[in-house]
Chain A
């Protein structure tokens, strides 16, 4: 019998939901925890630096995190990530609507007892592999 690990790696989508918005070449990504326990994990682990790194291939010029504890939520503002914005970009998703779901793949570490009660998507490829 092996001891239970002290932390389990899970994707953010098990702790929170998110929606993207766009203004010009700036994307904002809300990150809203299911509950206060999940919010505590986000507040300590999902930092602006970590998000900037996660979106590195989009070359953000600046990433700012705003905390709204009363909503158990945070808001990330990523500047320069929309390839010029809705009128200038060559990509398909010029608004960056899908970026919120890239954020939700970011892995975080949670205690096993929290992981057990989080919703999951059986069969999702991302799971805990990153």
Chain B
């Protein structure tokens, strides 16, 4: 069993994150003698969008920025024995693997051993019948785009132990991107709950990129962060018991301190004693943090309990059309004119659409769809406001009526309205359930043996 600590760095926290974070992480891992670089690029809805891309083009459906993320660091990773694990395969992991092999060819590098994890996509009739059992007849009315189970760390670990230098996955639980390399490195058993619980929370700290290194943290005057424009991406140092220290790439901006670590530790957690993943139920109810050096925080006393019996599934389906339109008012009676414009549009639509109103500059974020917060506030005298209206409908032509009414305010609305912008976009909705583990046939394939 390997005794040296395992270093895992994370270079993206979501699809759409910065793409220039990887180099500093790779340089830092190389300086520490190697490790694993992970990329997390799959939010809940990203996979459905990728599936739509794959439907349109059989070679698409993986992270669109894959080449930009992996290309610049591929040579250094191979040279320094830094493994790469990413869920950037999205809806088409084999195509992502081929793209990475192409990147290696283009750079004159030897073709790395690339493994592909499969089985997250639930497409066969038996799986559909199970989903219908769990979700009920509402599934029959859904125009389903994608249905994916959250896989765990086992396949990633097996592929790494079989010598994969790069592991491409679709939907796996975000922390499993970290637990997989830790399992492979230390040879823990799959029911070593305390160690899996700790490694899972190490993964949880990494999976949002700079959210633990000062990104998404700054409040000027209350929580300042040095050089936040150049915040470094995080690196976890995981020991043989799964305990870990969070740090960040050398020579970068940002900060890792007790506060940044605590914020990320609780991010998207419900019951702190039961953080559910496919691998384990992690328990941070007694955890504490301990500063052990500049930008180095140890997280102690995390526990783990037996993993959930079933796997979580997200089903994404087409959800009609979202119409959004905005118009601005400035100067005397600006707020009154914007409120009048809202009233005009609502009267014109006559209940054909359920419209949400926001008044940017007055109430636009904290209100609810019913508009109670805005409605209960006495009309004021804001002098720089932007009216924003939103509605949805299954029929694009009905939803579009909102856009036409707002556009018509140019000549028919209150005086001085300007800057109309409109958009009409298809929506993706989502439901979740769980299904038995044995209904999901997960596995992995090394690329040479792929058809």
Contact = CB atoms under 8 A, between A and B. Distances in A.
A83 B427 contact: no
Nearest to A24: B432
Given A68-B287, A88-B319, A88-B429, A75 B266 contact: yes
A92 B365 contact: yes
Interface residues of A, number: 38
B422 interface: no
Nearest to A119: B222
Given A70-B301, A71-B289, A19 B365 contact: no
A98 interface: yes
A10 interface: no
Contacts of B267: 19, 21, 30
Interface string B206-217: 000000000011
Contacts of B364: 92
A61 interface: no
Contacts of B432: 24
A2 interface: no
Nearest to A66: B272
B272 A70 contact: no
B356 interface: yes
A55 to B, nearest CB: 9
A87 B269 contact: no
Given A17-B222, A17-B223, A68-B285, A58 B368 contact: yes
Interface string B271-311: 11100000000001111110000000000010000000000
Contacts of A58: 368
B429 A26 contact: no
B3 interface: no
B223 A91 contact: no
Which bucket holds chain B's interface residue count?
Answer: 35 or more
Given A19-B263, A98-B365, A66 B356 contact: no
B368 A59 contact: yes
Given A57-B372, A68-B284, A71-B289, A90 B356 contact: yes
Nearest to B369: A83
A128 B216 CA distance: 26
Given A17-B259, A68-B284, A87-B45, A57 B268 contact: no
A86 B262 CA distance: 24
A102 interface: yes
B416 interface: no
Contact of A70 (B45, B222, B286, B356): B286
A107 B56 CA distance: 53
Contacts of A71: 262, 265-266, 284, 287-289
Given A32-B259, A32-B266, A121-B222, A89 B369 contact: yes
Contacts, number: 119
Contacts of A37: none
B366 interface: yes
Nearest to B285: A68
B268 A73 contact: no
Contacts of B301: 70
B170 to A, nearest CB: 19
B270 interface: yes
Contacts of B271: 64, 66, 77
A92 to B, nearest CB: 6
B388 to A, nearest CB: 7
Interface in A19-39: 19, 21-24, 26, 28, 30, 32
B48 to A, nearest CB: 9
A93 B391 CA distance: 15
B287 A22 contact: no
Q: Which of A32, A68, A77 has the most CB of B within 10 A?
A: A68
Interface in B236-270: 259, 262-270
Q: Which of A73, A93, A119 has the most CB of B within 10 A?
A: A73
A17 to B, nearest CB: 6
A98 B388 contact: no
A57 B427 contact: no
B156 interface: no
Contacts of B273: 66
B235 interface: no
B356 A102 contact: no
Given A22-B268, A87-B427, A88-B427, 4 more contacts: A17-B222, A19-B264, A88-B319, A91-B358
11 contacts: A18-B263, A19-B217, A30-B267, A57-B366, A58-B368, A71-B284, A75-B269, A87-B427, A90-B392, A98-B365, A119-B221
List the 10 closest A-B pairs by CB distance, nearest first: A21-B268, A30-B266, A90-B356, A90-B390, A70-B288, A19-B263, A21-B267, A87-B429, A83-B369, A98-B365
